[in-house]
Structure 1
Amino acid sequence: MNYLRGEDERLISNETVLTTAACTSNESSQECRGGVGSLATIFLMVNATLGAGLLNFPQAFDKTGGIVIAVVVQLIFLVFITAAIVVLAQASDSTNSSSMQDTLAGLCGPKSLILCAICVAIYSFGCCVTFLIIIGDQFDRVLANLYGSDFCHYWYMSRSFTTTVCCFVFILPLCFSKRLDILSYASSLGCIAVIYVVWIIIYKSPVTSGLPAKPMKQWPDHWTEIFQVVPVVCFGYQCHMSVIPTYACMKNRQLGGFTVCAIVSMLTCFVAYSIAGIFGYSTFGTGKVPGDILQGYSDGGTFLMVAIIAIAFKNFTTYPIILFCGREALIGLCTEYIQSLIMPRVILSLIWIALTLVVAIVLPDISAVINLMGSLSAAFIFIFPGVCLLQNTLIKDPLLCLNKDRFLIVFAIILLALGSFVCGVVLVEAIEDMLKEKPAPALITGFRIGLKDSLCI
């Protein structure tokens, strides 16, 4: 059961969802020994944040109008993004919950649980489909380089076969966990894979290759170019769906310790994104940076092939985290029906994987749908945390007698306004992409990648 501590107690009758809830005082010490430490928490958060969006940051630096502007805008948003993570953790403490939908329900009522759970399930499903498409893209590139452009005429190298095998061999075993902390080991390997990709970008840059740096912008040609980096930054730092389950799995569930983990995680992502953006931008120059930085390297080589495989491996470790969030949202929506099933967690995971795999294979170009769903990311990062902070503050101090609470109300309003703005920017950009007649890669959850083009002849 979930309770809101305070005078206005609310009961969330959704015991099935709370599979990752922190230990209570009346539980045995043996049961309370589970959980992860600070380092594992950082790995989980970094792995859920860093992804294929890393490959699009060099182009975002170019479109924004220069390195300085891109870094400054990223830092400004990073303050609000990190604060939103802490807000979600604090709200989960107030409601004693272990998921975003339960936290929102504890503060805003059961109807908000349905809305939030639907958003989480839809966004998670779209992300998982995109992960599988990216995995197929990476293995197509490797096989095309090793065996030639007719590789897919062999059934054992076709996209559908390689994606299916990778899904069932590497992803499926990680998708049945009852708690998110079990994925901390895989997350650490995913973080290492991203570090290798960042190293490749540095290795291929003029700084280490000895080639002259390409011309780069110092300032944007027009002030509106600054907003080009906003969708990429928001999608690149989107880990808020998994923040509360991760916090619930900490061995010592304390807001102070988790805040330190959140700051370290976001700074780690900031360093990785900034390095990739700066060195990738200097490699290709103004107006010539590809949407996928790895596609711009024409020399091939073993190091580059390993980097492509590393991106695929990174998606192996991130897919289970997103599936976990989506699965728990579905359990929260269908509690009465789920309880009648034997091993509902396993059955839902199998159905989820099968559906995402079928969609990724049969409909490899779902960019328009995913683009529209991308606006949900702003809701997870800004709008839902803003609502939680607003409600939590008003419940504790309805008359706003304390100056601290007044400041929190103002900050909550800023989060809501910022989230609405970003949501609108992403939605407009997605609609513009849909209306374009020229064959341009579509914006997929914050990064551009060609999902429709085939490497096979």
Structure 2
Amino acid sequence: MQFEGKTSFGISVFNLSNAIMGSGILGLAFAMSNTGIALFIILLVCIAILSAYSIHLLLKSAGVVGIRAYEQLGNRAFGSPGKMVAGCIITVHNIGGTGSSPSRFLKIILHNVQLPLYCQVRAPFGYSEWFLNGNYLIIIVSICIILPLALMKQLGYLGYTSGFSLSCMVFFLISVIYKKFNIPCPLENHGNSSQTPLNITDDFCEAKLFTINSQTAYTIPILAFAFVCHPEVLPIYTELRDANKKRMQQVANISILAMFVMYLITAIFGYLTFYGEVESELLHTYIKVDPLDVLMLCVRLAVLVAVTLTVPVVLFPIRRAVQQILFPDKPFHWARHILIALTLISLVNVLVIFVPSIRDIFGIIGATSAPSLIFILPGIFYIRIVPKEQEPMTSRPKIQAACFAGLGFIFMVMSMSFIIIDWVNGESRSGGGH
């Protein structure tokens, strides 16, 4: 099968980097506070290497059979059931997000306090009340920004918005570094004097290299999920100019390395600013210092823009999966293309607005879909697709792929266990409170 990709190497890097980067970057400083700097770096390096290896398995499998669609690899490996499973996992994972309520991205954008806080502080009194309604904002952003971008026929067209999204996150990163040298330790309350005082302990300003507590085990799935980009890899590969396995692997390696550096710097400087008081959402922590800080308000707006521009990239493989499952042999048609995009965005909005309590359900789905996309499916596809004549089951690559898939099952069990423990602890705390 021949492909004529027209997307440049740089645009492909932008798109894949944007697919990797998500709202999870806001929680990495909190993750570091629960592992210590040294342990966090070790885990981050391991996960980045495993993610690059996972993409290698996907590209090798695609190269053997000349197929550049995740769902078609499933079809080649296990027939129609394999295609259905791969397509459903991609769809559910990208809609539900990893361990979050429906549409992690839109929820981060509008159901949190970021945009309402910005509007409330900056908009004239009496003119912003309707604009602070999160449900209206979800619909406005979806129609005006996400839908037009989601209607693009090819991922390559999103390269420029992906580049702008990444530049917004670079601004966020620079601001986090700058604030490290402008926020005193111990922290002092600024602005609103009615704020709850911060909890200051004797070792508050002491950075720890290794830390083990009840939250440490959660860090491993958080870091693993921070590098999920696998549904987008093969579509980007298809559109890459002068595409071959080596060139696409370079795109993946550069993207992973860029996000590794961004993740690491954000985590280190965020942690060294707030230490043990850093919250699970880093930007929330800055509000405790000064809720009216102009720089951080600009940073919040930049993060909103960045995450908004990530949504169309994430929707692309969902639409492709739906196309592969429902219309596998149909040629491209604009009416069907637009209808699928409208349906997906409408579904996401309905879930966000009307079904907020579905968080736990999508938490379970995310805990199973992410390990499947990163570890399990690439491993078993590689084992099934690469001919035994080329690589026997006893060969080192096949054994490594089998171990890789097994690691995915371990991640899945860990993630499910953490969610169940959270449920049990939450119920016991609720019972205790009464």
2:78 to 102, 105, 108: 108
Question: For the structure 1 residues 195 and 342, does the alpha-carbon distance in structure 2 shift closer, same or farther, using more than 3 Å as the test?
Answer: closer
Question: For the structure 1 residues 434 and 146, does the alpha-carbon distance in structure 2 shift closer, same or farther, using more than 3 Å as the test?
Answer: farther
CA displacement 1:288-320 (0-9 Å, x = unmatched): 110110000131322111211122112222111
Superposition pairs for residues 87-126 of structure 1, below 5 Å? 87-126=57-96
Find the counterpart in structure 1 of residue 42 from structure 2: 72
Q: Is 1:322 the counterpart of 2:296 in the alignment?
A: no
Find the counterpart in structure 1 of residue 34 from structure 2: 63
Q: How many Å apart are 1:150 and its aligned residue?
A: 9.6
Q: Contact 1:81/1:381 (CA < 8 Å) preserved in 2?
A: yes
Find the counterpart in structure 1 of residue 284 from structure 2: 295
Q: How many Å apart are 1:399 and its aligned residue?
A: 4.1
Q: Is 1:132 the counterpart of 2:106 in the alignment?
A: yes
For these two proteins, the number of residue pairs brought into alignment is 402
Find the counterpart in structure 2 of residue 83 from structure 1: 53
Q: In structure 2, how many angstroms separate the alpha carbons of the residues matched to 1:161 and 1:324?
A: 24
Superposition pairs for residues 363-402 of structure 1, below 5 Å? 363-375=355-367, 376-397=369-390, 399=392
Question: For the structure 1 residues 340 and 256, does the alpha-carbon distance in structure 2 shift closer, same or farther, using more than 3 Å as the test?
Answer: closer
Q: In structure 1, how many angstroms separate the alpha carbons of the residues matched to 2:79 and 2:156?
A: 28
**Any stretches of 5+ residues in structure 2 without a counterpart?**
187-203, 430-434
Find the counterpart in structure 1 of residue 153 from structure 2: 178
Q: Contact 1:95/1:107 (CA < 8 Å) preserved in 2?
A: no
2:210 to 198, 206, 219: 219
Q: Contact 1:69/1:226 (CA < 8 Å) preserved in 2?
A: no
Find the counterpart in structure 2 of residue 38 from structure 1: 9
Q: Contact 1:387/1:416 (CA < 8 Å) preserved in 2?
A: yes
Question: For the structure 1 residues 340 and 419, does the alpha-carbon distance in structure 2 shift closer, same or farther, using more than 3 Å as the test?
Answer: closer
1:239 to 208, 212, 229: 229
Find the counterpart in structure 2 of residue 259 from structure 1: 249
* Aligned-pair Cα RMSD in Å: 2.6
Q: Contact 1:71/1:274 (CA < 8 Å) preserved in 2?
A: yes
Find the counterpart in structure 2 of residue 52 from structure 1: 23
CA displacement 1:166-199 (0-9 Å, x = unmatched): 1111111101122211111111111111111111
Q: In structure 2, how many angstroms separate the alpha carbons of the residues matched to 1:320 and 1:115?
A: 23
The one-letter code sitting in structure 2 at the alignment partner of 1:323 is: L
Q: How many Å apart are 1:49 and its aligned residue?
A: 0.6
Q: In structure 1, how many angstroms separate the alpha carbons of the residues matched to 2:220 and 2:65?
A: 32
Q: Work out which structure has the larger RCO, using CA pairs closer than 8 Å and 6 or more positions apart in sequence.
A: 2
The one-letter code sitting in structure 1 at the alignment partner of 2:282 is: I
**Any stretches of 5+ residues in structure 1 without a counterpart?**
3-21, 24-31, 441-457
Q: In structure 1, how many angstroms separate the alpha carbons of the residues matched to 2:177 and 2:228?
A: 24
The one-letter code sitting in structure 1 at the alignment partner of 2:18 is: N
The one-letter code sitting in structure 2 at the alignment partner of 1:156 is: F
SS in 2 for 1:436: helix
Under a length normalisation based on structure 2, what TM-score does the superposition of the two structures give?
0.86
Which range is displaced more, 305-314 or 248-257? 305-314
% identical equivalent positions: 21
Q: In structure 2, how many angstroms separate the alpha carbons of the residues matched to 1:380 and 1:340?
A: 26
Find the counterpart in structure 1 of residue 418 from structure 2: 429
Q: In structure 1, how many angstroms separate the alpha carbons of the residues matched to 2:49 and 2:82?
A: 26
Q: Contact 2:22/2:105 (CA < 8 Å) preserved in 1?
A: no
Q: In structure 2, how many angstroms separate the alpha carbons of the residues matched to 1:319 and 1:305?
A: 22
SS in 1 for 2:153: coil
Which range is displaced more, 154-163 or 74-83? 154-163
Q: Is 1:156 the counterpart of 2:131 in the alignment?
A: yes
Question: For the structure 1 residues 204 and 162, does the alpha-carbon distance in structure 2 shift closer, same or farther, using more than 3 Å as the test?
Answer: same
1:192 to 161, 167, 179: 167
Q: In structure 1, how many angstroms separate the alpha carbons of the residues matched to 2:226 and 2:63?
A: 26
Q: Contact 1:151/1:158 (CA < 8 Å) preserved in 2?
A: no
Find the counterpart in structure 1 of residue 337 from structure 2: 345
Question: For the structure 1 residues 249 and 338, does the alpha-carbon distance in structure 2 shift closer, same or farther, using more than 3 Å as the test?
Answer: closer
Q: How many Å apart are 1:352 and its aligned residue?
A: 1.0
Q: In structure 2, how many angstroms separate the alpha carbons of the residues matched to 1:95 and 1:182?
A: 27
Q: In structure 1, how many angstroms separate the alpha carbons of the residues matched to 2:34 and 2:425?
A: 18
Q: How many Å apart are 1:155 and its aligned residue?
A: 2.3
Question: For the structure 1 residues 398 and 108, does the alpha-carbon distance in structure 2 shift closer, same or farther, using more than 3 Å as the test?
Answer: farther
Q: Contact 2:77/2:381 (CA < 8 Å) preserved in 1?
A: yes
Under a length normalisation based on structure 1, what TM-score does the superposition of the two structures give?
0.82
Q: In structure 2, how many angstroms separate the alpha carbons of the residues matched to 1:58 and 1:399?
A: 44
Q: How many Å apart are 1:341 and its aligned residue?
A: 8.0
CA displacement 1:58-99 (0-9 Å, x = unmatched): 0100112x1011001111121111111121122222222232
Q: Is 1:417 the counterpart of 2:406 in the alignment?
A: yes
Q: Contact 2:392/2:398 (CA < 8 Å) preserved in 1?
A: no
